[in-house]
């Protein structure tokens, strides 16, 4: 008989590629993870992982078991949802990980909506970028992630996750007030090819959006200054340190003294924001109201 907790460990090892990283995500010791993998191999009668200098990879048998693991764990999530519904499930805590502007845009309004509509549900919010929050969902560190599409993200048909679209927003060009394009009604990105740029660090999903937009305009940007805080990005632009692309919602309520904000000429770069949960948890009586409140906040 295969134990479900060992399937969790197998998936964590497949996701993180090393025993040490999987152990950290699961709050276990590396030796405990190794022991559980050994026990799982004994239960199945197959070698499931191979260890090498660059980490751990699944064998062919391991890949077969992983495909069933995703289905089994999703079904267990559904079972938990039905059991919680049976026992009413009207009170409890849901942990949501989201990036900063996502918190302001949809998570905080959703918290306010739930306080009125479902006062028994307590929301715990953690600030995390999308590339960090999705692994947190998979590792069961949080229940819901509010994240942004990015290169390398699990695809929409990933069997481990369910995605719920929330909103999409354009990036606007931010240039110093003395910039040669400050008076233009719209800013062609190609005209900024030789400017120094200010933007998020590589790994931040917004960095990918900016880089891809510039590549589509025919050039590779010269990133002179880096910050994941858009207030810092705008402050540097106001100091004439460079130009930037910033999500429109991040500019709301910000001090824009010293800069000009203009829409991008043509097809504007866009970030698409979604909520992600573990596959099978969508009908959980605690998760369902949270997803509904996030959707309503996004529409508002």
- Write out the chain's pLDDT in tens, 300 residues: 778 888 888 888 888 988 889 889 888 898 898 898 888 888 888 888 888 777 888 899 889 998 888 888 888 888 887 777 656 666 788 999 999 889 999 999 999 999 998 888 889 999 998 788 999 999 999 999 999 987 778 888 899 999 999 999 999 999 999 999 999 999 999 999 999 999 999 888 899 899 999 999 999 999 999 999 999 999 999 999 999 999 998 998 899 999 999 999 988 899 999 999 999 988 888 899 999 999 999 998
Say how far apart CA 31 and CA 37 lie, in whole Å: 10
Query: Over the stretch 248-299, which tens digit does the pLDDT of each residue have?
Result: 989 988 999 999 999 999 888 999 999 999 999 888 888 999 999 999 999 9
CA 218/CA 197 separation, integer angstroms: 15
My answer on whether 195 and 158 are in the same domain is no
186 with 249, same domain: the answer is yes
How many C-beta neighbours within 10 Å does residue 9 have? Answer: 24
Question: Do 153 and 202 sit in the same domain of this protein?
Answer: no
Considering only the C-alpha atoms of the chain, give the largest distance between any 2 of them, rounded to a whole number of Å: 71
CB 146 within 8 A of CB 273: yes
- Based on the domain organization, do 53 and 125 belong to the same domain? no
Rounded Cα distance between 298 and 283, Å, is 20
Domain that includes residue 126, residue range: 90-166+272-299
> Where is the domain boundary, 46, 65, 82?
82
- DSSP string covering 269-295, please? -EEEEEEEEETT-TT-TTHHHHHHHHH
Q: Which bin fits 118, alpha (ψ -120 to 50), beta or left (φ > 0)? A: beta
Same domain, 248 and 276: no
User: 161-176 and 270-278 as β-strands: parallel, antiparallel, unpaired?
Assistant: antiparallel
Q: How many domains does the chain have?
A: 3
Question: What CATH number is attached to the domain comprising 69?
Answer: 1.10.10.10
Q: Say what the pLDDT of residue 3 is.
A: 81
Residues 161 and 134 sit within 8 Å (Cβ to Cβ): yes
Task: Supply the CATH number for residue 123's domain.
Answer: 3.40.190.10
Residues 104 and 251 in one domain: no
- Residue where a domain terminates, one of 28, 54, 82: 82
Q: Are residues 194 and 217 in the same domain?
A: yes
- Do 135 and 282 lie in one domain? The reply is yes
pLDDT given for residue 89 in this prediction = 61
d(CA 182, CA 279): 47
Examine the domain organization and report whether 67 and 48 are in the same domain: yes
pLDDT of residue 85: 63
Residues 255 and 286 in one domain: no
Report the distance separating Cα 154 and Cα 284, nearest Å.
22
Last residue in a domain, options 54, 82, 110: 82
- Looking at the structure, tell me whether residues 16 and 154 fall in a common domain: no
The whole-angstrom separation of Cα 16 and Cα 10 is: 10
Contact 256, 234 (CB under 8 A): yes
Residues 174 and 226 in one domain: yes
Cα distance between residue 169 and residue 273, in whole Å = 8
């Amino acid at each position: 008989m295969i134990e479900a907790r060992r399937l969790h460990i197998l998936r964590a090892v497949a996701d993180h590629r090393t025993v040490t990283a999987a152990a950290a995500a699961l709050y276990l010791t590396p030796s405990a993870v190794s022991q559980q993998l050994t026990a799982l191999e004994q239960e199945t009668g197959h070698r499931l992982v191979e260890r090498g200098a660059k980490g751990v990879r699944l064998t062919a048998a391991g890949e077969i078991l992983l495909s069933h693991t995703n289905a089994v764990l999703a079904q267990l999530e559904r079972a938990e949802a039905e059991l919680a519904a049976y026992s009413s499930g009207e009170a409890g805590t849901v942990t949501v990980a989201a990036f900063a502007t996502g918190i302001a845009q949809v998570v905080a309004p959703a918290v306010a909506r739930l306080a009125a509509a479902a006062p028994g549900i307590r929301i715990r919010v953690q600030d995390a970028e999308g590339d960090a929050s999705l692994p947190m969902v998979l590792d069961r560190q949080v229940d819901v992630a509010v994240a942004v599409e990015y290169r390398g993200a699990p695809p929409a048909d990933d069997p481990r996750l369910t995605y719920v679209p929330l909103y999409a927003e354009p990036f606007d060009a931010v240039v110093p007030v003395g910039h040669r394009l400050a008076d233009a009604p719209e800013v062609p990105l190609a005209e900024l090819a030789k400017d120094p740029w200010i933007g998020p660090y590589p790994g931040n999903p917004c960095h990918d959006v900016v880089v891809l937009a510039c590549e589509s305009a025919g050039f590779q940007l010269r990133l002179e200054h880096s910050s994941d805080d858009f207030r810092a990005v705008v402050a540097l632009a106001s100091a004439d340190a460079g130009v930037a692309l910033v999500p429109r919602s991040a500019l709301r309520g910000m001090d824009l003294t010293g800069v000009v904000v203009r829409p991008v000429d043509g097809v504007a770069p866009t970030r698409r924001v979604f909520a992600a949960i573990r596959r099978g948890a969508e009908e959980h009586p605690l998760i369902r109201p949270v997803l509904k409140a996030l959707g309503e906040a996004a529409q508002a």
